[in-house]
Chain A
Amino acid sequence: MSLVLDVAAGAVGGGTSILYAALGETISERAGVINLGTEGCMLVGALTGYAVAAMTGNPWFGVVAGAGAGGALAALHAMLVIERKASQLASGLVMLFVGLGITSLFGGSFVSRTINAFTPIALPGLSKIPGLGKVLFDHDALTYLSFLMAPAIWWLLFRSRWGLLIRGAGERGEVLAAYGYSPKTIQYLAVVAGGALAGVGGAQLSTAYTNSWFEGMTAGRGFIAVALVIFAAWDPLKAIAGAYLFGAALALSPALQARGYALNQFALDALPYVITVLVLVVLSRKRLHAAPEGLIRTLANAPVR
């Protein structure tokens, strides 16, 4: 396959776990809660997904369990920041370390287990499209699901009554309360949904993309997802482009090397993170206007606490 197609296919395959986490974080931040522990949610999702797939023999059970585990960790975060008014940034980082610790505690025995993993399914017809077919339509079921998930979440946020409530909770909770809704409940649901999607992202990494569990295997993808949400201006559709851009940055180095190109390895390895920094520098001022008001208040208040 050509270099471009290999990178593009790698971008979609490797970007999917990031996409799920970014979609989840979009919902959470739309409701006004930032979860820096997304990486931790991905890790517990990856381990739980792999473990349940190993025990039941069915990766779908693994994905559901992974979503549950990611959601449960996010629920802890929600309780701390919504109920106990803890700093969102501090609590998020705590969730990261909880996720790292728990998974390394319980993950050891699953390193050597094998599972019935999700395998790539070439979609009949579509996968025969020259170029595009290989890039988009020769993936695992969870990747196809993510194609549907992004527009579905866009519809949920911007076209449904639920979305109005979520965004309301993130902008001005008082208004929702005045209309008789509980902004707390809505925030809870949004944060848990966000963690559950991050858990699915982790499970995609372990049960589909890499077909293995290993300690710390998310390797910073959760943090890239959080940065991506700002890049995508809290829009699920733009998050697709962002996730694949980062996926492509990760895919570039092995693709070039396998063709014997001489290149500065370390510069290429830094590329995803350099892109993150550049995007934040260029866009953040403009993007901040697009941020939910509740989030702006959180970020503005953070250093004072």
Chain B
Amino acid sequence: MRARRMMAAVGAAVALLGAACSSNTTAGTAAPTGSSGSTAAPGLGGTAVGFIFVGPKNDYGYNQAAYDGSQAVKAAFPNLKVLTAENVPEDDNATRVMNSMVSQGAKIIFATSYGHLNPAEQVAAAHPDVVVVQQGNIITGTVAPKNMGTYFGTVYEPVYLAGIAAGKATKTNKLGYVYAFPISQSIDNIDAFELGAQSVNPAAKTVVVNTSAWCDPGKQTLAANNLLSQGVDVITQHQDCTATIIKATEAAGKYSVGYHADASALAPKGWLTGSEWNWGPLYTDIVKTILAGNFTGSKYNANYRVGYKTGDNPFVQSKFGPSVTDETKTLMATAKANLAKADFSPFKGPVMDQSGSVIPGFEAGKVPDYATIENLTTFVQGIVGQIPKS
């Protein structure tokens, strides 16, 4: 028993050393990359594509959208087996699952949760012939390993549009936002929602409540009840399962803005609009690039972000509810056209923080790039509530 434990410890140490060495070579010089370039490009020669999801594949939300994307890959590449694993925790279990997919013939792996980044990096380091792409997180450092990349939609753009709908719909000028953890995606979304609402209704405030869980319906009920009792009349969310909050809001006769999936059926009266995923085209194009042997050095071999400016945002606007007026629709259409322009952003400066001072990087007239926006760690002026301190 003791011997086995020691062997495990030694094995872990060796793996760590290996990871450290390989990251040194990739981040170091271009010379070794060139020499190993003579061997086959990463991701070729596999018989399968692997997908791991942090939740169940039918959660009416984030994971279901990713699963649907994996099925689009299956349809587009009938010769490849598509391996999927649900409920994969964001720890060394993810590494284990991905390694087992590699041993089943997968040379391409999609790690679809924000917290799957570290395991994904470990797998990429251990298997230079396997391409691992991660959904939503950011690889830090100057150069991504040549078999690794991250990708995501600019989620905050449709959320900004939804904020316009919310700002026009509210009668109390109080909007509610239920989120899980203060990760950059959520902060961007909350800020963009409030900025969108402000752009048409300067008095609109957004009250934030977090649940410290991607899906805990009991806490969601509490969050919704408390927001409603504070006079909030439009509620949106960044949660993996969305039904509880939307049903509670509808039952109270207030407005819902969706996220992740079209849940308008749950709120026939109060549904305004929302944002939902359509991963199929992007997943398919990533796999196509890899199979052509072109992954290394491509746009996907980095932190790839798509948005309205590139025209292929996988995060799209949901359909409108019955109460959305033509005036609101026109405002949103104008804003959407603006989002496609290079000199416009929901975060075009000046953007003020909650204390009223300009956020560094968001000074007057500046149009911040995607990376700057993703690194935002503050709530903007007009948001009621604090980012929890860890």
Contacts and interface: CB of A to CB of B under 8 A. Distances in A.
Interface of A: 1, 6, 9-10, 13-14, 17, 104, 108-109, 111-112, 114, 117, 119, 205-206, 209-212, 214-219, 221, 250-251, 253-255, 257-266, 269
Contacts of A221: 218
A212 B244 CA distance: 6
Contacts of B208: 257
B247 interface: yes
B281 interface: no
22 contacts: A1-B229, A9-B225, A10-B225, A104-B56, A108-B58, A109-B58, A111-B59, A112-B243, A114-B247, A206-B217, A209-B221, A215-B55, A217-B218, A250-B218, A250-B219, A253-B212, A255-B226, A258-B226, A258-B230, A263-B386, A265-B388, A266-B212
Interface of B is mostly: mixed
Given A108-B56, A254-B209, A257-B208, A14 B221 contact: yes
Contact of B210 (A109, A216, A265): A265
Contact of B384 (A215, A254, A260, A264): A260
Given A109-B58, A210-B218, A212-B217, A10 B226 contact: yes
Contacts of B58: 108-109, 111-112
A258 B218 contact: no
Interface string B169-188: 00000001000000000000
B92 interface: no
B222 interface: yes
Contacts of B222: 10, 14, 250-251, 254-255
A210 B213 contact: no
Given A104-B56, A211-B248, A111 B221 contact: no
Given A104-B56, A111-B56, A111-B241, A266 B218 contact: no
B202 interface: no
B166 interface: no
A217 B218 CA distance: 7
Given A212-B243, A257-B223, 16 more contacts: A6-B226, A6-B229, A108-B56, A108-B57, A112-B60, A112-B243, A210-B218, A212-B241, A217-B218, A219-B213, A219-B216, A257-B385, A258-B176, A260-B207, A263-B388, A266-B212
A257 B210 contact: yes
A54 B59 CA distance: 17
Contacts of A17: 218
A251 B211 CA distance: 11
A211 B247 contact: yes
Given A111-B58, A257-B210, A217 B226 contact: no
B217 A269 contact: no
B227 interface: yes
Contact of A258 (B56, B221, B227): B227
B230 A209 contact: no
Contacts of A259: 230
B221 A210 contact: yes
Contacts of A210: 217-218, 220-221, 244
A269 B218 CA distance: 13
Interface string B219-245: 111110111011010000000010110
B266 interface: yes
B29 interface: no
Contacts of B220: 210
A217 B217 contact: yes
